[in-house]
Amino acid sequence: MTLKIALAQIAPVWLDREATLAKVSKQAEKAAAEGADLVVFGEALVPGYPLWPELTGGAQFNSAVQKDIFAHYAANAVDLQRGQLDELCATAARLGIAMYVGLIERSAQRGGFSLFATLVYIAPDGTMGSSHRKLMPTYEERLVWSPGDGNGLRVHQLGEFTVGGLNCWENWMPLPRAALYGQGENLHVAVWPGSRRNTEDITRFIARESRSYVVSVSALMHRDWIPDEVPHADLIRAGIPTESDGWLTDGGSCVAGPDGNWVLEPQVGEESLYFAEVSIEAVARERQNFDPAGHYSRPDVTRLKVNRKRQKTVSFED
């Protein structure tokens, strides 16, 4: 049995939730028209990755600049409880296509203004299967995002495949990977803000470790695509190093097979839909000699405990 995957390496309409969701829907339409069963979008694509802290002195405490940009970012984050992803879920159901979408989430259960880098899985029937909040933001991301929880460490059946996903550098964390392996994952989705330096090594490494397909999907962002409507847009543009040729993130989307070899080598510098066909038989062949959660595991010696409760500040009893 094979599955056709679309890797949507696109740029957001930066920090604009509604315009970016419209762009995501159009890419899903194109992917479905090409017969894709699954389409994947990069980390934090809706409404965009927080590129400004390292360009504008983001660590300066009580900065009016940082407050202005953060307030704009929060206003364009996605509130799942308010149904701000319902239209995209309806699109998935109409097209009969599964999606992994990286977004910035805000939740009234956590005060409404703390933000999470969340990876959402939408099933082909339009139901939201999981929303995984990134466990630990990386470096300057911690100035903008809050740590997540284990609620979204879940896998989903898609044809004969069992698919799961993680955000960016949490793909380097052995135990979250093991949590997905232990649920039967054999198609791993890794989403990134972009850049080949992030995806080139770890995509093949995880594939070899897990004996699974690994699909890494990155976003793109260039100086010229920063909208004037973003607060302090000129200041952000001025902070971009001249040697970067204006690129903030340049892609790097790729696919590795369960033997660790490339199915699709890293793609950079271009907005495009890339496609890959994956076969469950290839997984079975590589699991013959190594299955990390199966015959090559020793649960009598080492086991992993996972807390999948959604973190809340308050629990009410009426």
Q: Which residues are catalytic?
A: 43, 134, 168
> Distances in Å between the alpha carbon of 36 and those of 63, 121, 236, 277, 288?
46, 15, 37, 9, 28
The DSSP bridge partners found for residue 213 are 187
**DSSP code, position 21:** H
Q: Which residues does 247 contact at the CB level (< 8 Å), separation at least 6?
A: 221, 222, 223, 269
Could you give the CA distance from residue 164 to residue 181 in angstroms, rounded to a whole number? 9
User: Side chain identity at 176, as an amino acid letter?
Assistant: P
What percentage of the chain's residues is helix, strand, coil (to nearest 5)?
30, 30, 40
Residues 160 and 88: their CA atoms lie apart, in Å, by 24
Amino acid of residue 235: L
Q: Which residues pair with 167 in a beta bridge?
A: 191
Torsion of CA 51, 165, 128, 275, to 10 degrees: 90
Cα(309)–Cα(284) distance, integer angstroms: 33
Torsion, Cα 256 159 165 18, to 10 degrees, reads 110
State how far the Cα of 79 lies from the Cα of 93, in Å rounded to an integer: 20
